[in-house]
Structure 1
Amino acid sequence: MRKKLRIQTWDHCAAGVASAVDTFCDQWEPYSKESRQHSLDGLFARLIVPAFTTYLAALPAHHRGRNLFPNNSFSELVRQHGGFGLVEKVLHISLRQFTKTDVQDLQFQETLETLRVLAAACKAKRPKKPALKKSESAKTSRVYAEYCEFCGFHTEAAAKEKGKSVPGYDVTSNARLSAKYCWDHRPKFLDGSRNPRYLRAQRHQLNFETELKRLTWQARSMSKPNAETGDQHLDLFYFRVLGHLAVYPSDTSHLRNEARRLIDWNISDKKKRIVAMRTAQYSLDAIAKEVGVKSRQAVAKALASTLSMYRFDLPPLGKAGAPQLISAAHARFIDLLGQAASSALEDPNIVELLLNDDGKLWAESRSLGMREIGALTASDAERIIRFANHNFPHETDSGEAPLMIELPFSSARFTGLLPPFAYGPVFGIRKGAR
């Protein structure tokens, strides 16, 4: 029997929306995206959309959240523009645009976060009996998970469905691809031999889930330590870990792979505290006393056994002050951003830029927090988003769709929305550490 869907509604989620989500979870079992009789987007439109629309209509007239999804309901986005994955992206981008700047409404924030998680669950759901392709039989058609249970790579079945190669797999053989694990973590290899990496990952599954939870919390805010470990040194370590990655809580693959790496390289909580304290200029003797090891030599040994990429106490590799080559697209993009935004992008103290749909430009600083730094016209903002769409590689083809782009400079992630996905053009640039 398939387990009942569980969506954790946030504490301050609007009561009407939370109730609708609970009802949705109770009823969702027979529904799927492929079914005509039990359409998942139909259930979403019947239960979730009215509850959320009622909530938005009840917001104060001056609340900018009232402009969310102008002239488009969730159900219309799902049916017309590409599914629940799109809804998840729009909610993700909108959530940051609203709550990181001038909409400090905890209920609004947690209502959107609850719906974003629900959209992600709908995106991942597969029918009990998938429709068969011409090349499939009832025996070969299977329900599979998108990501491996132990890391952020696609399961073998998902990888094959997406047209990616699976190591060692021969399409002419009768080998069965795993629906739960990637090639690296499947219980047995295709030749029948046991996989030791599966056994190790299985033993440390609870540790993996703990690491993933901490990384997800830290990804919510890159301006300060925020991993919710209860220890300031551990929080600082996770802050450093994600400092070089421009990731968000919804970047499932990145976060799961980072959690896997911490487990595989035996980066224990004690090692994390030692590295964080050493980074903060604690002496070896002080660290030994704080973490409860016998001597400074034991601290030095723990540091020496830590993977170099996590040695934040050491100076970065490479030549300081080395000139950086700037492409024509990079230079043009900086020109389009304007002086205020481009200066903020070059400031090492700035971690994120956000343009709201009202044209206000905001910057989040490590020391000063979020502050307004200027404004852009709607036409200038649209020009920036369309330029990024046409000149930098990304996963979508349309300038109107939500864009998520890895910029080829500043280790930055660019996200953008154009109408009808937002009331006006909005974008964000989240920087990685240099």
Structure 2
Amino acid sequence: MPLFASAFLLFPIRPIQCQALPLAKTYSLAKMVDMKITIWEGCDLTVAAAIKFFVERSSPYSIFSRRYPILRLIQEVIDPAVADYVNSLPPSHKDYISGVNLGFSEVLKKLGLNVVAQAQRLLLRNFVLTLDQQTSLDKCFTATIESLIELVSECASKRPKKSSPAKGVTINSQRKLGYCEFCGNLTEFSKLISEISEFVANDHEFPVHEKQVLSHRYCSDHRPKLTNGLWNPKYRQGKRSLEQFNKELIRLRRQCAKPHKANANTGNILIDTYFHEWMQGQTLTPADLDKLRNIARRMVDSKFTDTKKKIIILKHQGFNQFETAQVLEKNHYTTMTKQAVSKALASVRKEFYI
């Protein structure tokens, strides 16, 4: 078993069963009150069906409810599917699942949902880097574990329909929680709830008027107005570039979903190839939504245009600056000179080079 697994788990987990699931899209989204669970394409049929049934029954359940504890629902619905899948896997794959000798819900109960999600994500990354040969079994394993990670992560933040966001909090619990609309940071309101939940701060430390002005749509960097009352230039920039931000985010998520082939679906082969090659040097998964959102934000803010992506991939393929300009002019209808290529390369952030 990988050595770093013990840093997160005292008990090794076992997998869940996998067969190809013919989904029309890369993944399907099942709504849970204000949550979504991602079922990956290729996820085991039994596990996928269990997750869908789980979603149908999940409305009153949460980690905070005594009457409807979500761990009980996991035990009733998810545990049997996970156990069947674990029993179908070879020993080599079982080493990459946390809590092998315990039931799925029992591991979550003993270690906590967030800890298990983080540990399993590290184990899965190690599997991809070491054992994964892209066989049907490997693809199914990855898709199933990703689906379970998504399930656990979403359950960790699920609250009852009527509740306070955290113990002792006296503010409106129905306000939206999540990421800033322009990046991967938590909104001001979500960050407050997170700090209270983690006992970093107490509810009484925040005056009522301060709670009321916290944004549930934007982080502190992108809030519409600064503390001095002036309009925030970062908000205006984010508002102007929102469409491009969402476009880049979709491309990144598509490529993360199928990292072994060009899957950004941009409509241009060079741009698709760029995302594919660039992603090979990363350790990102669709579950790393905060990181993907921040990457998309940096792409937009640094004006990393599609033309620059084409230049980067052509450079990676061995073309010099003069040849790159010729290829873009002849085949991609982009007016370009050697000097323009040089200037474009100089403006690209180092993190976006291949």
- Show the counterpart of 1:93: 122
Q: Once the 2 structures are TM-superposed, how far is the Cα of residue 130 of structure 1 from its aligned partner?
A: 3.4
Which amino acid counterpart does residue 274 of structure 1 have in structure 2?
A: I
Aligned to 1:41: 71
Partner of 1:126: 159
List runs of 5+ in structure 1 lacking aligned partners.
Answer: 313-432
Classify 1:142/1:197 alpha carbon distance in 2 versus 1 (closer, same or farther; 3 Å). Answer: same
Counterpart pick for 1:287 among 328, 332, 339: 328
* Distance in 1 (alpha carbons) for counterparts of 2:292 and 2:157: 17
1:176-212 residue CA offsets vs partner (Å, 9 max, x unmatched): 2122321122244455554453354345444323322
When residues 295 and 13 of structure 1 are mapped into structure 2, their CA distance, relative to the original with a 3 A threshold, is closer
Of 169, 184, 187, which aligns to 1:155? 187
The secondary structure found in structure 2 opposite 1:154 is coil
Following superposition, the deviation at residue 93 of structure 1 comes to 3.0
Query: What is the CA-CA distance between 1:301 and the residue it aligns to?
Result: 7.6
Could you tell me which amino acid in structure 2 is paired with residue 275 of structure 1? I
For residues 17 and 255 of structure 1, what CA distance do their matches in structure 2 show? 26
One-letter identity of the residue aligned with 2:350: M
Determine helix, strand or coil for the equivalent of 1:128: coil
Structure 1 residue 37, shift from structure 2 partner: 1.0
Question: Residues 292 and 189 (structure 1 numbering): CA distance in 2 closer, same or farther, change over 3 Å?
Answer: same
The answer for unaligned runs of 5 or more in structure 2 is: 1-30
| Contact in 2 for aligned 1:9/1:114 (Cα 8 Å) | yes
Task: Output one character per residue of 1:355-388: Cα deviation in whole Å (capped at 9) or x when no partner.
Answer: xxxxxxxxxxxxxxxxxxxxxxxxxxxxxxxxxx
Structure 1 residue 141: Cα displacement: 5.1
User: Residue deviations 1:270-289, cap 9 Å, x none?
Assistant: 22112322343241223322
* 1:180–1:46 Cα change, 3 Å: farther
Larger RCO (CA within 8 A; separation ≥ 6): 2
Alignment check: 8 A CA contact 2:183 2:294 kept:
yes
| Structure 1 Cα separation of the partners of residues 334 and 222 of structure 2 | 34
Which amino acid letter does the alignment assign opposite residue 215 of structure 1?
A: L
The correspondence for 1:145, drawn from 159, 174, 177, is 177
C-alpha contact (below 8 Å) 1:225/1:238 kept by paired residues: no
Q: 1:310 to 1:112 in 2, by over 3 A?
A: closer
Task: Give me the CA root mean square deviation.
Answer: 3.7
**Partner residue of 1:185 out of 222, 232, 249:** 222
Residue 36 of structure 1: how far off its partner (Å): 0.8
Distance across 2 between alignment mates of 1:193 and 1:309: 33
Change (3 A) 1:26 1:194: farther
Select the residue among 101, 116, 120 that pairs with 2:149: 116
The 5 Å alignment of 1:13-412 reads: 13-57=43-87, 59=88, 62=90, 64-66=92-94, 68=97, 69-83=99-113, 85-98=114-127, 100-101=130-131, 104=135, 105=137, 106-131=139-164, 136-137=169-170, 139=171, 143-163=175-195, 171-172=206-207, 174-175=209-210, 176-190=213-227, 193-216=230-253, 218=255, 226=262, 228-229=264-265, 231-238=268-275, 247-279=284-316, 280-282=318-320, 283=323, 284-296=325-337, 299-300=340-341, 303=344, 306-309=347-350, 312=353
Q: Judging changes above 3 Å, is the alpha-carbon distance between structure 1 residues 135 and 53 closer, same or farther for their aligned structure 2 residues?
A: closer
Structure 2 CA distance for partners of 1:245 and 1:184, relative to 1, 3 Å? same
Change (3 A) 1:88 1:49: same
CA–CA separation in structure 1 for the residues paired with 2:300 and 2:35: 28
Per-residue deviation, 1:142: 5.6
Q: Residues 108 and 243 of structure 1: is their aligned pair in 2 closer, same or farther, counting only changes over 3 Å?
A: closer
Question: Are 2:159 and 2:165, in contact at CA under 8 Å, matched by a contact in 1?
Answer: no
Size of the alignment, in residue pairs? 304
Per-residue CA distance 1:204-231 (angstroms, 9 max, x = gap): 4443233224334555788x77553464
- Aligned partners of 2:329 and 2:336 also within 8 Å: yes
Relative distance call for 1:70 and 1:245 in structure 2 (3 A) is closer
Q: Matched residues in 2 for 1:133 and 1:232: separation?
A: 48
Task: Give how far 1:259 is off.
Answer: 0.8
Q: Distance in 2 between matches of 1:163 and 1:4?
A: 20
Quote the residue 1:392 is aligned against. Answer: none
More strand per residue: 1 or 2? Answer: 1
CA contact (8 A) 2:262 2:276 kept: yes
TM-score (norm 2): 0.70
Q: Alignment partner of 1:183: what SS?
A: coil
Greater fraction of residues in helix: 2
Q: What is the TM-score of this pair, normalised by structure 1?
A: 0.59
CA distance in 1, matches of 2:351, 2:68: 49
1:126–1:143 Cα contact (<8 Å) kept:
no
Provide, for residues 251-308 of structure 1, a one-character-per-residue CA deviation record: whole Å limited to 9, x for no partner: 3333221111111222221221123223432412233223312342684386168334
Letter in 1 for 2:152: A
Contact 2:32 2:55 in 1 (8 A): no
- Taking the aligned partners of 1:257 and 1:204, their CA distance within structure 2 comes to 14
Distance 1:81 1:144, change over 3 A: farther
Higher alpha-carbon deviation: 273-282 or 22-31: 273-282
Amino acid at match of 2:41: D
Q: Which amino acid aligns with 2:291?
A: H
Identical residues among aligned pairs (%): 28
Superimposed CA distance per residue, residues 291-333 of structure 1 (whole angstroms, 9 cap, x where no aligned partner): 3123426843861683343674xxxxxxxxxxxxxxxxxxxxx
